[in-house]
Amino acid sequence: MKEYNPMELFDLTKDTLHYKSQNSVYNIKYNADDAHALLNTEHGTPFLHFEALDAIPCIRHGFSTRLGGVSTGDFTTLNLSFARGDDEEAVHQNYERILKSMDMKENRLAFSDQVHDTIIHRVTLEDTYASHQYEKKLVGIDGLITNEKNVTLVTSYADCVPLYFVDPVKKAIGLSHSGWKGTVGKIGKKTVEAMVREFGSEKEDIICVIGPSICFDCYEISKDVADEFMVNFTNEITSKILYDKGNGKYQLDLWLTNKYILMEAGIPEENITNSNLCTCCNHTLLFSHRASQGKRGNLAAFLSLAE
Ligand SMILES: [Zn+2]
């Protein structure tokens, strides 16, 4: 992989995305077909979207990139965090641009304040803000669900796993932040359970996307983290998601782990799509905590129910 340089950005005219379609040690394919994330460049500020969700008429969705914003330095260019030292006015401008590009500018917004826990919050209109109040967050929340129309759920990322949930039958949505701690705590399963409880969703109806995040090859972890997975998952699963390198270090497959969690929650395998896009492998396009050694802005996932 190319060394990280915050000033070096993906060139839309000549660069291509690096997709990973399978776990490189155990050769397990993430998707049955070649489904993955796609880059939309037609509406100004580019954003990523997923074919599995494009097919659902009652929603809008997207995932931001580093392109098309006004931030500089380590935040070049589309940083969506107010909490990492970037200029506040620049972050406001970045939100304006990405929301306009995704046609969500008129929506009310609901933001998680992610703490690597597994609490799911049902968003009502009282939790939402007009589109110029981006810094207001729901405290201590990593998962958002709603059935309110024209409310955009927003969660933020730079290697952790975004999980998108859409129930096109009951017209309900969810968006959850699943880092390694959220994955150990099975936040994906808890989000499904919350949608069943709150909206009467049938598990067979829920469509899930595992969004852009760090891949198996880029995600080295220490033994104490690997131990958490060995305690909380079966041997059958850990034999597919963990690779022991023999030096006290392991590689961990967060994509596959989240897929197994969603299947354990009752989501049919054919309803789950992996974006196959690694934030670290694609660090000229996406902010990656690992690639940048923590000197970076935030990406964001967006999901809303339209009329
Ligand atoms: Zn990678």
pLDDT in tens, the chain (307 residues): 678 999 999 999 999 999 999 999 999 999 988 878 999 999 999 999 999 999 999 999 999 999 999 999 999 999 999 999 999 999 999 999 999 999 998 899 999 988 999 999 999 999 998 876 776 788 899 999 999 999 999 999 999 999 999 999 999 999 999 999 999 999 999 999 999 999 999 999 999 999 999 999 999 999 999 999 999 999 999 999 999 999 999 999 999 999 999 999 999 999 999 999 999 999 999 999 999 999 999 999 999 999 7
Beta partners for 213?
Answer: 278
Q: Rounded to the nearest whole angstrom, what is the distance from the C-alpha of residue 288 to the centroid of ligand 1?
A: 10
Q: Rounded to the nearest whole angstrom, what is the distance from the C-alpha of residue 109 to the centroid of ligand 1?
A: 31
- C-alpha distances (whole Å) from 34 to each of 30, 208, 273, 275 are 9, 16, 10, 10
Q: Rounded to the nearest whole angstrom, what is the distance from the C-alpha of residue 297 to the centroid of ligand 1?
A: 18
pLDDT score at 34: 81
Question: How far is it, in rounded angstroms, from Cα 105 to Cα 125?
Answer: 16
Task: List the structure tokens of 9.
Answer: 């950005």
Kindly give, in sequence order, each residue whose CB lies less than 8 Å from that of residue 138, ignoring residues fewer than 6 positions away: 110, 111, 112, 113, 121, 123, 127, 144
Q: Rounded to the nearest whole angstrom, what is the distance from the C-alpha of residue 93 to the centroid of ligand 1?
A: 29
pLDDT digits (tens, 9 = 90+) for 56-71: 999 999 999 999 999 9
Q: Are 297 and 159 within 8 A, CB to CB? A: no
pLDDT score at 145: 98
pLDDT score at 307: 75
Question: How far is it, in rounded angstroms, from Cα 196 to Cα 260?
Answer: 19
Q: Rounded to the nearest whole angstrom, what is the distance from the C-alpha of residue 159 to the centroid of ligand 1?
A: 9
DSSP-derived 3-state class of residue 49:
strand
Q: Are 69 and 84 within 8 A, CB to CB? A: no
pLDDT score at 13: 96
Q: Rounded to the nearest whole angstrom, what is the distance from the C-alpha of residue 118 to the centroid of ligand 1?
A: 25
Task: List the structure tokens of 299.
Answer: 């990406």
Beta partners for 60?
Answer: 304
Task: List the structure tokens of 10.
Answer: 């993906």
Q: Which domains does the chain have, with CATH numbers?
A: 37-305 (3.60.140.10)
Q: Rounded to the nearest whole angstrom, what is the distance from the C-alpha of residue 160 to the centroid of ligand 1?
A: 12
Q: Rounded to the nearest whole angstrom, what is the distance from the C-alpha of residue 225 to the centroid of ligand 1?
A: 19
Q: Rounded to the nearest whole angstrom, what is the distance from the C-alpha of residue 265 to the centroid of ligand 1?
A: 27
Q: Rounded to the nearest whole angstrom, what is the distance from the C-alpha of residue 90 to the centroid of ligand 1?
A: 29
Of 191, 216, 198, 155, nearest to 272 by C-alpha is 191
Positive/negative CA dihedral, 129, 183, 211, 10: positive
Q: Rounded to the nearest whole angstrom, what is the distance from the C-alpha of residue 282 to the centroid of ligand 1?
A: 7
pLDDT score at 1: 67
Q: Is omega for the bond preceding 279 within 30 degrees of 0, making it cis? A: no
pLDDT score at 234: 98
Question: How far is it, in rounded angstroms, from Cα 249 to Cα 27?
Answer: 20
pLDDT digits (tens, 9 = 90+) for 32-46: 888 789 999 999 999
Task: Quote the DSSP letter at residue 3.
Answer: P
Q: Rounded to the nearest whole angstrom, what is the distance from the C-alpha of residue 217 to the centroid of ligand 1?
A: 6
Question: How far is it, in rounded angstroms, from Cα 155 to Cα 174?
Answer: 11
Identify the helix (H) or strand (E) that includes residue 176.
Answer: strand 172-178
Q: Rounded to the nearest whole angstrom, what is the distance from the C-alpha of residue 218 to the centroid of ligand 1?
A: 4
Question: How far is it, in rounded angstroms, from Cα 177 to Cα 14?
Answer: 32
Side chain identity at residue 182, one-letter code: G
CB count within 10 Å of CB 37 equals 21
Q: Are 174 and 237 within 8 A, CB to CB? A: no
Q: Rounded to the nearest whole angstrom, what is the distance from the C-alpha of residue 2 to the centroid of ligand 1?
A: 11
pLDDT score at 271: 97
DSSP-derived 3-state class of residue 181:
helix
Q: Rounded to the nearest whole angstrom, what is the distance from the C-alpha of residue 12 to the centroid of ligand 1?
A: 20
Q: Rounded to the nearest whole angstrom, what is the distance from the C-alpha of residue 26 to the centroid of ligand 1?
A: 16
Cβ burial, residue 33 (10 Å; 0-12/13-18/19+): exposed
Q: Rounded to the nearest whole angstrom, what is the distance from the C-alpha of residue 215 to the centroid of ligand 1?
A: 4
Of 148, 155, 190, 197, nearest to 173 by C-alpha is 148
Q: Rounded to the nearest whole angstrom, what is the distance from the C-alpha of residue 19 to the centroid of ligand 1?
A: 9
Q: Rounded to the nearest whole angstrom, what is the distance from the C-alpha of residue 20 to the centroid of ligand 1?
A: 8
pLDDT score at 129: 87
- How far apart, in Å, do the first and last CA atoms of the chain sit? 43
Task: List the structure tokens of 100.
Answer: 């306009």
Question: How far is it, in rounded angstroms, from Cα 169 to Cα 166?
Answer: 9
Q: Rounded to the nearest whole angstrom, what is the distance from the C-alpha of residue 18 to the centroid of ligand 1?
A: 9
Q: Rounded to the nearest whole angstrom, what is the distance from the C-alpha of residue 277 to the centroid of ligand 1?
A: 8
